[in-house]
Amino acid sequence: MEKVQLEQRAAELNKVLTQYGHEYYDLDAPTVPDAIYDQLMKELIEIEEEYPDLRFPDSPTQRVGGQTLTAFEKVTHDHPMLSLGDTFSEEDVRAFDERVRQNIGDNFRYVCELKIDGLAISLKYVDGVFVQGATRGNGTIGENITENLKTVRSVPLRLTKPVTLEARGECYMPKRSFNNLNKERAEREENLFANPRNAAAGSLRQLDPKIAASRNLSTFMYALGTNGEEFGLTCHSDALDFLEELGFRSNHERRICTSLDEVFAYIEEWTEKRPTLPYEIDGIVIKVDDYDQQQELGNTVKVPRWSIAYKFPAEEVVTKVLDIDLTVGRTGVVTPTAVLEPVLVAGTTVQRASLHNEDIIREKDIRIGDHVIIRKAGDIIPEVKQVLFDQRAEDAAPYAMPTHCPACDSELVRLEDEVALRCVNPQCFAQIAEGLAHFVSRNAMNIDGCGEKVVAQLLREGLVKDVSDLYHLKMDELIQLERMGEKSATKLIDAVEASKANSLEHLLFGLGIRHVGSKAAKILAAHFETMDALMAATEEQLTEVFEIGEKMASSLVTYFANEEVQELLSRLRDAGINMSYTGKKVDTSETDSNFNGKTIVLTGKLERLTRSEAKAKIEALGGNVTGSVSKKTDLVIAGAEAGSKLDKAEKLGIVVWDEERLIEELSE
């Protein structure tokens, strides 16, 4: 057969196999026997092997797994993948509903969806072709797992329309696949996976895509990366339908609810029906449906204010307290942890449970040797619920917290208004180790090859005393360490050197300032631009920054006023550490626009620009685009069908432009 004919045949096979796969994996309604599918797949593989240039990116043969990878590269999400705030009771859901109504009134509806217990993923398409898949990671930076996601049958390699977009969802392992996998691993005497979520995450993070291909994973997509206005969508429920039209798989058990009673009825229904599902769920997601109302409610640094996750009641089991361990964190807080007889809780083997602090131990009267009821709050965090006093041994003695630090033997103190015992010795080995481990972590200075074990080695050998010493490590010192060869030492020194160029927010987060997480660090770095400017800022100036509250501002001022901190920063500066923000930032000295330094809200439908395009252009000219109208808003851009945000802006006397005025200003 001539190549031209083979090319036509390959295209035909590609199309028909994609359709058969969709019927089998997504619709559970196959129209041909497995033998015919296998025969056609074999024919396509043979054509592609003879002519590799006929192997297209969306070929069904790419599902079987390609070449083994050496590592996962990092991916920066175009828009943050926010977490959801968790609730565990009816009272929490009612409080969320009340906050929503206070901000947008009573004219809205919810979409309720099953919360799939898997791994959050992002799928990118260009002109309808799958080009990149990534994990959620820390919400800002994830890992590129494109090759592994290609093996998941429910991930379309080509969409039904040639659109460019990002879809977000959950990759999970069905219960049946999980049980089969663990059965096979047991037969091979390999460690079993604790639950389907861990199995799915472990499968997607295999460097060999063939392993991921063998695990029978699936997906449910639950959102677009943007609010979908560029596709004419006005609400979340329409976006889910749109995703299905494009060939994605979404969960059909969702429901639109117009009252809180309907939301609770949905929760009650799926609390009972949860065991009948072929996949694991750990709760219910509740979202405000309308996009404009979502924008008006906005987000915190970490979570959206328009959505929340109700987590199912925790499973409870009985086990025995074998011991109580004490750990010292980087802020000096001593945390007691119960060491338990291993027990299965909500699909996971639990051997430890946090006891939080001395007051909890005393209040619940927890003693070594006690039989206790433990549960996993939200199916995640193990905790001791109560002691079974009728099973207590007669010689069980009350537990007494130590008076001295278990790491450095310094006297422990309890600061005013705190329940925790704290070691205040700045030279405490455990605190320094925890602080160093945080400083070198991925979201901070990202010093590869310097994990907790290496940090502990460096401290024990006296090579480092604080984070600034990392920048004076020498090759001849490192290769003397146990299990630290020349290759590992070179890698570590190179990573230390590369970290000097990090943008300011990485250093800010790495310093471990109380209440300052990675996202807040980026907001501060982008606003103040230099460490000196941030150190000189007052509490009032800090709280003027979008999403920086009084508690964080007070913590920052206190931290930078410390002479030891100032000396540390001086040593880091002398070592060549960058102290400036190197992300996108407007040179305000040269920017003379009607957007510079102003807080701006976009609402309604724009005809000539997408909302994301308008936002990018405004921010490039120094504006700060937010999702809700308040007294701090300087300008509202109102498109067609603008709703409550426009009404609120007019009541507050805020300047309002239409799209034509926006285009005119942008042109200038």
Residue 280 lies in a domain: yes
In the chain, the number of structural domains is 6
pLDDT at 161: 94
Nearest-angstrom CA–CA distance, 668 and 296: 29
Instruction: Check the annotation: does 83 bind a ligand.
Output: yes
610 and 543 together in one domain: no
> How many residues belong to the chain?
668
Nearest CA-CA partner of 375 in 363, 367, 384, 387 = 384
* pLDDT at residue 534 is higher than 80: yes
Nearest CA-CA partner of 531 in 551, 556, 497 = 556
Nearest-angstrom CA–CA distance, 602 and 592: 21
pLDDT at 414: 84
Mean pLDDT (the chain, rounded): 86
Nearest-angstrom CA–CA distance, 138 and 128: 27
249 and 124 together in one domain: yes
- Tens of pLDDT, residues 455-479: 989 998 999 988 999 999 999 999 9
3 state SS of 403: coil
* pLDDT at residue 662 is higher than 90: no
- ∠ CA 219-224-228, nearest 5°, is 150
Which structure tokens are listed for 23? 């019927």
Would you say 474 and 461 are in contact if contact means Cβ atoms under 8 Å apart? no
Cross-strand partners of 110 = 257, 288
Nearest-angstrom CA–CA distance, 419 and 358: 8
pLDDT at 66: 53
> Which has more confidence, 452 or 277?
277
Percent of the chain residues topping a pLDDT of 90: 43
Which structure tokens are listed for 573? 């500066």
Handedness of CA 420, 423, 424, 428 (dihedral sign): negative
Residue 459 lies in a domain: yes
Residue 461 lies in a domain: yes
Residue 580 lies in a domain: no
pTM for this one?
0.52
Residue 77 lies in a domain: no
Q: What is the CATH number of the domain that holds 660?
A: 3.40.50.10190
Instruction: Check the annotation: does 320 bind a ligand.
Output: no
483 and 528 together in one domain: no
Q: How many CB atoms lie within 10 A of CB 108?
A: 18
Handedness of CA 563, 569, 574, 579 (dihedral sign): negative
Q: What is the CATH number of the domain that holds 342?
A: 2.40.50.140
pLDDT at 25: 56
224 and 341 together in one domain: no
292 and 398 together in one domain: no
155 and 223 together in one domain: yes
Instruction: Check the annotation: does 170 bind a ligand.
Output: yes
145 and 176 together in one domain: yes
> Which has more confidence, 427 or 398?
398
Q: What are the distances in angstroms from CA 292 to CA 112, 357, 547, 600?
A: 18, 44, 20, 15
486 and 610 together in one domain: no
Instruction: Check the annotation: does 74 bind a ligand.
Output: no
* pLDDT at residue 378 is higher than 60: no
Q: Give the structural domain span for 186.
A: 85-311
- Tens of pLDDT, residues 309-331: 998 876 778 999 999 999 998 88
Burial of 269 (0-12, 13-18, 19+ CB in 10 A): middle
Q: What is the mean pLDDT of residues 470-495?
A: 91
Q: What is the mean pLDDT of residues 624-644?
A: 82
Nearest-angstrom CA–CA distance, 166 and 534: 35
Residue type at 537?
Answer: A
- Tens of pLDDT, residues 396-416: 999 999 999 999 999 998 877
CA atoms within 13 A on the CB side of 138: 14
Instruction: Check the annotation: does 408 bind a ligand.
Output: yes
Residue 187 lies in a domain: yes
Handedness of CA 278, 284, 285, 288 (dihedral sign): positive
Cross-strand partners of 87 = 310
Instruction: Check the annotation: does 3 bind a ligand.
Output: no
Instruction: Check the annotation: does 35 bind a ligand.
Output: yes
Q: How many CB atoms lie within 10 A of CB 36?
A: 12
Nearest-angstrom CA–CA distance, 31 and 638: 50
Q: Where does a domain end: 424, 445, 479?
A: 424
Nearest-angstrom CA–CA distance, 510 and 529: 17
Model confidence at 163, pLDDT cuts 50, 70, 90, reads: very high
- ∠ CA 601-606-608, nearest 5°, is 125
Q: Which residue has the tokens 């609730």?
A: 87
- Tens of pLDDT, residues 180-210: 888 887 776 666 776 788 888 888 988 888 8
- Tens of pLDDT, residues 20-54: 776 765 555 667 776 677 778 888 888 888 888 88
Q: What is the mean pLDDT of residues 263-276?
A: 92
Q: What is the CATH number of the domain that holds 448?
A: 1.10.150.20
Would you say 46 and 40 are in contact if contact means Cβ atoms under 8 Å apart? no
Beta-sheet strands, E only, within 63-217: 74-76, 86-87, 110-116, 119-126, 129-135, 141-143, 165-172
Helices vs. strands in the chain: H and E counts, helices first: 24, 22
Q: Where does a domain end: 405, 424, 443?
A: 424
509 and 611 together in one domain: no
- Tens of pLDDT, residues 87-143: 888 999 999 999 999 999 999 999 999 999 999 999 999 999 999 999 988 788 889
Q: What is the mean pLDDT of residues 70-95?
A: 86
pLDDT at 550: 84
Q: Where does a domain end: 384, 404, 424?
A: 424
* pLDDT at residue 586 is higher than 50: no
Residue 594 lies in a domain: no
Nearest-angstrom CA–CA distance, 646 and 3: 61
CA atoms within 13 A on the CB side of 105: 9
- Tens of pLDDT, residues 543-562: 888 668 888 899 899 999 98
CA atoms within 13 A on the CB side of 313: 10
Instruction: Check the annotation: does 235 bind a ligand.
Output: no
Q: What is the mean pLDDT of residues 480-484?
A: 86
Q: What is the CATH number of the domain that holds 206?
A: 3.30.470.30
Nearest CA-CA partner of 647 in 100, 233, 232, 105 = 105
- Which helix H or strand E contains 374, and what residues bound it? strand 371-377
**Which positions are annotated as active-site residues?**
115
Q: Tell me phi and psi for residue 41, to 5 degrees.
A: -65, -40
Q: What is the mean pLDDT of residues 617-630?
A: 79
DSSP3 helix / strand / coil % (the chain, rounded to 5): 40, 20, 40
- Which helix H or strand E contains 434, and what residues bound it? helix 429-439
Q: What is the mean pLDDT of residues 334-359?
A: 85
Nearest-angstrom CA–CA distance, 357 and 385: 14
Instruction: Check the annotation: does 113 bind a ligand.
Output: yes
> Which has more confidence, 452 or 289?
289
3 state SS of 19: helix
Residue 583 lies in a domain: no
DSSP letter assigned to residue 235 = B
- Tens of pLDDT, residues 108-123: 999 999 999 999 999 9
- Tens of pLDDT, residues 511-522: 989 888 887 898
Q: Strand 334-345 and strand 316-328: pairing?
A: antiparallel
Q: What are the distances in angstroms from CA 536 to CA 527, 569, 657?
A: 13, 14, 37
pLDDT at 551: 83
105 and 205 together in one domain: yes
Which positions ≥6 away from 473 have C-beta within 8 Å? 458, 463, 464, 492, 493, 496
468 and 603 together in one domain: no
CA atoms within 13 A on the CB side of 553: 14
Nearest-angstrom CA–CA distance, 282 and 172: 12
291 and 419 together in one domain: no
Would you say 77 and 141 are in contact if contact means Cβ atoms under 8 Å apart? yes
